[in-house]
Amino acid sequence: MPTLPIHGVIPELLTALAHGTRAVLSAPPGAGKTTIVPLALLDQAWVSGRIILVEPRRLAARAAAGRMAELRGDAIGDSVGYRMRLDTRISDRTRIEVVTEGVFTRMVLDDPELEGISAVLFDEFHERSLDADFGLALALDVQSGLREDLRIVVMSATLDIERVADLLDHPPVIVSQGRSFPIDIRHSDRPPGERVEDSVARAVVEAHRSEAGSILAFLPGQAEIQRTAERLEGRFGVETVIVPLYGNLTQKEQDLAICPSVAGHRKIVLATSIAETSITIDGVRIVIDSGLQRLPVFEASTGITRLETVRVSRASADQRAGRAGRTEPGIAIRLWHAGQTAALPAFTPPQILSSDLSQLALDLAHWGVKDAGTLRFLDPPPAAALLEARTLLVQLGAIDAGYSLTDEGRLMRRLSLPPRLAAMVISAAGNGLGREASELAVLLTEQGLGGSDIDLDERLRRFRNDRSARAQAARGLASRIAGSLPQGERIETSTTVGRMLLHAYPDRVALQRGGRGRFVMASGRGAELPETERLAGESMLVIADITGRAARGRILSAAAVSRKEVMEGLGSSIIRGDECFFDRQSRQVRARRVTRLGAIIFEEAPLPRPSGEEAALTLAQGVRELGLAALPFSKDAQHLRQRLGFLHRTIGEPWPDVSDEALLGHLEAWFVPFQGDTTSLDDIDPGRLTEGLRSLIPHDLQRQIDALAPTHFEAPSGQRHPIRYDGDEPVLAIRVQELFGLKTHPAVAGGRLPLLLELTSPAHRPIQTTRDLPGFWRGSWKDVRAEMRGRYPKHPWPEDPSEAKPTHRAKPRGT
């Protein structure tokens, strides 16, 4: 057993768990917590069953199990084993079981008492995956209600200790200082506009030339890794090998990146965030950090998860730098300016705040929890996203309106598949196609299976012909899934991938519109394919994966489907009827008889143009689409809006909010009733818009608006001047001579708010602004007078303007 820094705090941890059931352990990278802590617990008196070590990734789980087995002199699967989705190596003798986070969650859900388990250790909890947060919440629930003897330890190198300790009711917090060799942190700011792979490749070449040892470079994703490898190809001799490290690689390829280099050789590992924690890459003493990572962001409104490239957190940057000092003094080169580090977020955002929560919602229903707030989440699931997830589950038949699990939902949960794919497999099994649908579902949940082709028919064909160990394990999983379902009579001898996908993604059926490779989905969102792709020429697709923010997302995987298959598969969702709609191009209301699936129009025939309230309501929808700028507000109407806006800001209710957002939200109140039979935005009467705005003013305030927010100011000279309300405060621009004799400052809102006076010269050029006219007469008027009387001698500039006679004219001749 090697002597590692974690040994210094093991006695403290053992004492904490002997006298209590919870602990928090913070230890830096390389301290040994992942492998030493589980082994140290084995001989404790309270350990009568297995110890579960929960790891965030499969690579880390295999590596941890292998290292612990090596330290005990065992084979993997003997006293130490691991369990993950496509690979399990345990036996009746296994006492330490390393599992991935998703596997642990299912273990708890299937066995709420966690029978035969003495302790659960959550490793690298700072990564804050959705499964880790939910798994900890479940473990705490089990401990408090069923298993008071269960020990729970939360471990991490970079942990928000105070929040985690508070969640666990302030158990002992054990901190290991670790033993990291000195790390020389350097900064090399990436030039604006330079591609990240170019910056990383240049830094790798320079570090390889000037420093000894292997290099670990962090990039945001697989594509950047491949492009960086292309740029480095042929730059080094045979003694240097370049290897990638990311989640889609096979176990053999991942092991190649981790294993020690051959004596006299160097290694350049190009990795994603997968290499941040839990694994040690032997020989690395140089880390090059791009400062970027790729995180999934779920858009509840579209049901689509997109990958977003963002800056790493300070915690992640520290983890990455720490890889350089595991075995000897090292160097960490950060490709950003040193001053930018302080602006990085402290921690990576937890997945629960930006994830698809449909699986969580299904599991909560299985656990019997309707209010997620009753479980102890470090960050509770967002209410809006959870509601969207439950709405989807109701549509899939997995839960009822009261969020209770249905028989269909129980079957779906047993399949170990995302809810959409589980619904697809169950539907297919009813038609005798369970095996085909199960293979497709496993293909979609395991990145890299069958290659990276966008066409899922092609990927499924390759997957079925793949003889690799991973592919065979995946097909075995598909067989077990299909075998667990009741199989109906096979209606067809064959079926298409697209037809099966209809039951998983009905909202992502897409119709070609706008040219080759351009589609519109049933959800209304646009989607695109490169024109060179075979699927780009298909008339209809079902899209399984899509990314991108814009109106036209980028399709990552899809399958062709025929209109006949859509009609047969989604017949209950296809609507036939008459509808009134707003035509953006002509800016008019039209009517038609349609056959549609969501935003996809299969057939349409024009109908006579509608009128009355129906037309006005549809016109209002057009205003919402185009914005208030599409309406022909007159100057009077615009001025009225400005005056009402001023009164709402200064007095508040009951003066109405007339901001763009408020008016768009209440078009039915002020816009629709005043449109009569108008059917085009271009035919709207501006006067009716003014009437509509005035209708928002409560009846008893109608007469007060002119007193509180007058349109004009009547000057002592007798002239009327408009008051502007288009800024933060009302403004009056006026020649200074017209205010002579005025001893009080002009005000509005019942005298509560002074006007901002923009005093001008006789030539209407600004000479002073003031909110205190009497003060101006007494103060700076003297300087203004001295300057202006020589410039405008034909106009009066009295010494005491408060006693002078106002005028809007020049002095009479001869005076």
CA angle 457, 462, 463 (to 5 degrees): 95
Q: What pairs with residue 713 in β-bridges?
A: 721
Per-residue model confidence as pLDDT tens digits over 34-77 = 999 999 999 999 999 999 999 988 888 988 999 999 999 999 99
Residue 42: CATH number of its domain: 3.40.50.300
Q: Please give the structure tokens belonging to residue 771.
A: 């909110």
Dmax over CA atoms of the chain, in Å, equals 119
- Whether the predicted pLDDT of 100 surpasses 90: yes
| Cβ–Cβ < 8 Å for 544, 505 | yes
Three-class secondary structure of residue 471 per DSSP: helix
150: nearest Cα among 176, 111, 124: 111
Three-class secondary structure of residue 251 per DSSP: helix
Cα 666 versus chain centre, distance: 29
Whether 398 maps to a domain, the answer reads: yes
H or E element, residue 575: strand 575-583
The DSSP 8-state label assigned to residue 680 in this structure reads: B
Low-confidence winner among 245-249, 642-646, 733-737 (lowest mean pLDDT): 245-249
Close Cβ partners of 231 (under 8 Å, ≥ 6 residues apart):
197, 198, 201
If asked whether residues 65 and 164 sit together in one domain, one would say: yes
| Cβ–Cβ < 8 Å for 757, 744 | no
If asked whether residues 189 and 312 sit together in one domain, one would say: yes
Average pLDDT over every residue of 163-189: 88
Q: What pairs with residue 89 in β-bridges?
A: 82
Three-class secondary structure of residue 6 per DSSP: helix
Whether 530 maps to a domain, the answer reads: no
Close Cβ partners of 469 (under 8 Å, ≥ 6 residues apart):
250, 251
| Cβ–Cβ < 8 Å for 129, 102 | no
Whether 540 maps to a domain, the answer reads: no
Whether 42 maps to a domain, the answer reads: yes
Average pLDDT over every residue of 467-490: 86
| Cβ–Cβ < 8 Å for 693, 670 | yes
| Cβ–Cβ < 8 Å for 341, 288 | no
Residue 555, CA distances (Å) to 399, 454, 507, 535 in order: 30, 8, 14, 10
Q: What pairs with residue 605 in β-bridges?
A: 593
If asked whether residues 59 and 144 sit together in one domain, one would say: yes
392: nearest Cα among 355, 356, 444, 428: 356
If asked whether residues 231 and 319 sit together in one domain, one would say: yes
If asked whether residues 746 and 656 sit together in one domain, one would say: no
728: nearest Cα among 747, 753, 706, 762: 753
Cα 695 versus chain centre, distance: 41
621: nearest Cα among 665, 683, 678, 676: 665
581: nearest Cα among 623, 618, 630: 618
HEC per residue, 194-257? CCHHHHHHHHHHHHHHHCCCEEEEECCCHHHHHHHHHHHCCCCCCCEEEEEECCCCCHHHHHHH
What b/e string do you get for 588-624 counting C-beta neighbours within 10 Å, with b at 16 or more? bbbbbebebbbbbeeeeeeeeebeeeebbbbbbebbe
Terminus-to-terminus CA distance in the chain, angstroms?
110
- Whether the predicted pLDDT of 776 surpasses 70: yes
The DSSP 8-state label assigned to residue 513 in this structure reads: -
At 532, the amino acid letter reads T
Q: What is the pTM of this model?
A: 0.74
The domain containing residue 731 runs over which residues?
Answer: 710-803
If asked whether residues 201 and 271 sit together in one domain, one would say: yes
Spatial separation of the C-alpha atoms in residues 85 and 696, rounded to whole Å: 61
Whether 550 maps to a domain, the answer reads: no
Residue bearing the bigger pLDDT, 542 or 222: 542
Whether 556 maps to a domain, the answer reads: no
Q: Please give the structure tokens belonging to residue 483.
A: 């075998």
Q: What pairs with residue 747 in β-bridges?
A: 754
- Whether the predicted pLDDT of 126 surpasses 70: yes
Close Cβ partners of 262 (under 8 Å, ≥ 6 residues apart):
none
Q: What pairs with residue 288 in β-bridges?
A: 217, 333
If asked whether residues 214 and 248 sit together in one domain, one would say: yes
Spatial separation of the C-alpha atoms in residues 83 and 222, rounded to whole Å: 26
Per-residue model confidence as pLDDT tens digits over 617-670 = 999 999 998 999 999 999 989 999 999 988 888 888 888 999 999 999 999 999
508: nearest Cα among 472, 549, 475, 540: 540
Average pLDDT over every residue of 773-794: 88
Three-class secondary structure of residue 461 per DSSP: helix
Whether 569 maps to a domain, the answer reads: no
End-of-domain residue from the set 474, 499, 524: 499
End-of-domain residue from the set 175, 203, 236: 175
Q: Please give the structure tokens belonging to residue 564.
A: 């006949």
At 300, the amino acid letter reads A
If asked whether residues 590 and 657 sit together in one domain, one would say: yes
Spatial separation of the C-alpha atoms in residues 86 and 65, rounded to whole Å: 16
Torsion of CA 697, 702, 707, 713, to 10 degrees: 80
If asked whether residues 169 and 196 sit together in one domain, one would say: no
Q: In which residue are the tokens 């350097």 written?
A: 186
* Residue 672: predicted pLDDT: 92
Per-residue model confidence as pLDDT tens digits over 681-701 = 999 999 999 999 999 988 888
Low-confidence winner among 294-303, 397-406, 720-729, 778-787 (lowest mean pLDDT): 294-303
Per-residue model confidence as pLDDT tens digits over 488-524 = 766 665 678 999 999 999 989 999 988 899 999 998 8
Close Cβ partners of 703 (under 8 Å, ≥ 6 residues apart):
none
If asked whether residues 23 and 97 sit together in one domain, one would say: yes
End-of-domain residue from the set 446, 464, 499: 499
Q: Please give the structure tokens belonging to residue 743.
A: 């001893």
Torsion of CA 364, 369, 373, 374, to 10 degrees: -130
If asked whether residues 13 and 131 sit together in one domain, one would say: yes
Residue 418: CATH number of its domain: 1.20.120.1080
Whether 567 maps to a domain, the answer reads: no
Average pLDDT over every residue of 708-726: 90
Report how many domains make up the chain.
5
If asked whether residues 213 and 153 sit together in one domain, one would say: no
